[in-house]
Amino acid sequence: MKKIDRILSLIAIAVILFTAATGCAPKRANIIEKVRTAIIEQWKLPFDSLYLQKNKLPDAVVYLPAPPDTTSEIFKEDYNRWLWGKTVRPTPRGKQASIESLYGIVRMCTIYSEVLGLKIDSQKTPAIYRFMLYVGETAHQSTAHAKETYMRVRPFARAGEKVWGEFDYDELRNNGSYPSGHTALGWATALALVEVAPKLQDTILRRGYQYGESRVIVGAHWQSDVYAGYNVASAAVAAMHNSPRFIAHLEAAQEEYNRLTTNQNSPTTTRHKKAKSNAFSLPHDGKILDTLLIKRDGDINRYPSLGRKNKTVEEKLFSMVSEELQRSNYTFIQPDINWAFALIGAEIEPRNQDNILQRGFDYGNYLGNKSKDPTDLIQARRILASAVVASLHTNPKFMAMLAKVKAIHQSTHSYSPYSLYF
């Protein structure tokens, strides 16, 4: 570690001395120091820092559609959102997006230290730090195959511009845009931290959502890339729940958080005021929020098993999911309930996870399109569904039923509960 630090220091000094001759040393030196700090921190990444290897993770090439064609209606919305991002850059939200363009555990620690009211780092909160690091890197790995397959051109590159933001550089031109890796990192971290600090779930989710939205503002990703990143993150977190290491790290992070926050005089407490628990809202903070929160009448009887009195444990589990979605959202639950069921089904049957996720995603699209809902509303419901599923993982009753269903499937390998709903 010290050797790496010395090498990076020498590189930074060399660059600073070189730029001094051009008259822009102070600004460049500041940038180099930030980059140097980030690289050093990332070198702390363990070599086995994934909860699941690539071949065990859900494959986004299978369960998500290809990125939209440039002649499609979805791409028109992508373009409009790119223009919107440009208007936000001069604002405080734009400054936040610039800061959030730093990838990895460094920025996750900064964001969630404020949210959790703790100074998160590898020394003061080692269990939380390790948990966040592993979750983020595993989720990011879930985007790799799709990125390499599609190699979608990023907005700033298509426009012949430079990416806007503090930490992203021109090498992004050669990196696929779909799905967004930053978004997968930020949203997966948020979903996982909901299980660590459930009382702060709204604030945690809001910050995780904004981290993805920032990618549109800085011009590094199209909106559809970001939506795909949220979906990849939720699928990856579902898969991680079948990793014994994930469960062990989660329990250690929960214990550490509870211990440190119980002691009000803990030296790890930040000087910031704890973040206000603003209600989690989707998407775009106002664009279609009113539409999203309208209570609508829906035909819940389309899911026959939900109305029966004598339900199996599988039916009780999925009934609980639908009831929570209605409580948290609205009675019109077509696209989101299918994605929520898919996430739970993928956790129950990891061997069939890609097929389950594909069916849930496609059927949600079918029902949403049948109702003539805009694409961003359908995607917003999926994001909300993943948040509800994360919250349910803090409910002892739900977790007890989930464990029973998993045990049934491990012993029979025959019955598929998601077939009741898709």
What pLDDT score was predicted for residue 1?
39
- Averaged pLDDT for residues 168-178: 82
The answer to whether the beta carbons of residues 302 and 421 sit under 8 Å apart is no
Domain boundary among 254, 280, 306: 280
Looking at every residue in the chain, the average pLDDT score rounds to 78
Identify the band that residue 324 occupies on the pLDDT scale cut at 50, 70 and 90. confident
Residue 51 confidence (pLDDT) above 80: yes
What pLDDT score was predicted for residue 311?
67
Residue 144 confidence (pLDDT) above 70: yes
Catalytically annotated residues? 182, 215, 221, 225
- Are residue 26 and residue 82 in the same domain, yes or no? no
What pLDDT score was predicted for residue 310?
54
* Percent of the chain at pLDDT exceeding 70: 71
What are the DSSP calls for 394-417, one per residue?
A: T-HHHHHHHHHHHHHHHHHS---G
Closest C-alpha among 208, 200, 193, 207 to residue 256: 193
- Are residue 243 and residue 107 in the same domain, yes or no? yes
**Cis (ω within 30 of 0) for the bond into 179?**
yes
What pLDDT score was predicted for residue 4?
43
Q: Which residue has the higher pLDDT, 82 or 286?
A: 82
The answer to whether the beta carbons of residues 180 and 221 sit under 8 Å apart is yes
- Are residue 275 and residue 158 in the same domain, yes or no? yes
Q: Which residue has the higher pLDDT, 147 or 413?
A: 147
- Are residue 91 and residue 123 in the same domain, yes or no? yes
- Are residue 81 and residue 226 in the same domain, yes or no? yes
Q: Which residue has the higher pLDDT, 5 or 52?
A: 52
What is the rounded distance in angstroms from the CA atom of residue 248 to the CA atom of residue 215?
32
- Are residue 2 and residue 100 in the same domain, yes or no? no
What pLDDT score was predicted for residue 332?
46
Closest C-alpha among 66, 67, 62, 64 to residue 361: 64
Residue 212 confidence (pLDDT) above 90: yes
What pLDDT score was predicted for residue 290?
36
- Are residue 318 and residue 243 in the same domain, yes or no? no
- Are residue 61 and residue 205 in the same domain, yes or no? yes
Residue 5 confidence (pLDDT) above 60: no
What pLDDT score was predicted for residue 150?
96
Structural domain span for residue 225: 49-280
What pLDDT score was predicted for residue 46?
52
Residue 84 confidence (pLDDT) above 70: yes
- Averaged pLDDT for residues 394-420: 76
Q: Which residue has the higher pLDDT, 319 or 334?
A: 319
What pLDDT score was predicted for residue 416?
54
Closest C-alpha among 290, 318, 331, 329 to residue 422: 318
Identify the band that residue 335 occupies on the pLDDT scale cut at 50, 70 and 90. low
Least confident residue range of 74-88, 196-210, 363-377: 363-377
Q: Which CATH number goes with the domain that contains 220?
A: 1.20.144.10
Count of domains for the chain: 3
What pLDDT score was predicted for residue 328?
61
Closest C-alpha among 201, 60, 71 to residue 143: 60
Identify the band that residue 55 occupies on the pLDDT scale cut at 50, 70 and 90. confident
- Are residue 159 and residue 274 in the same domain, yes or no? yes
Please, how many CA atoms are within 13 Å of residue 270, restricted to the half-sphere of its CB?
Answer: 18
* Percent of the chain at pLDDT exceeding 90: 50
- Are residue 352 and residue 245 in the same domain, yes or no? no
Domain boundary among 255, 280, 305: 280
- Are residue 216 and residue 147 in the same domain, yes or no? yes
- Residues in Cβ contact with 352 at an 8 Å cutoff, skipping those fewer than 6 apart: 345, 346, 416
Domain boundary among 265, 280, 295: 280
Least confident residue range of 25-29, 132-136, 193-197, 413-417: 25-29
- Are residue 266 and residue 336 in the same domain, yes or no? no
Closest C-alpha among 144, 140, 71, 74 to residue 365: 74
pLDDT tens for 214-258 read 999 999 999 999 999 999 999 999 999 999 999 999 999 999 999
Distances (CA, A) of 215 to 75, 115, 156, 223: 16, 20, 11, 8
- Identify which of 15-19, 110-114, 238-242, 372-376 has the greatest average pLDDT: 238-242
Closest C-alpha among 235, 244, 223 to residue 177: 223
Tokens 């109702």 locate to 371
What pLDDT score was predicted for residue 227?
95
Identify the band that residue 381 occupies on the pLDDT scale cut at 50, 70 and 90. confident
**Residue 104, Ramachandran bin (φ over 0: left; ψ between -120 and 50: alpha; else beta):** left
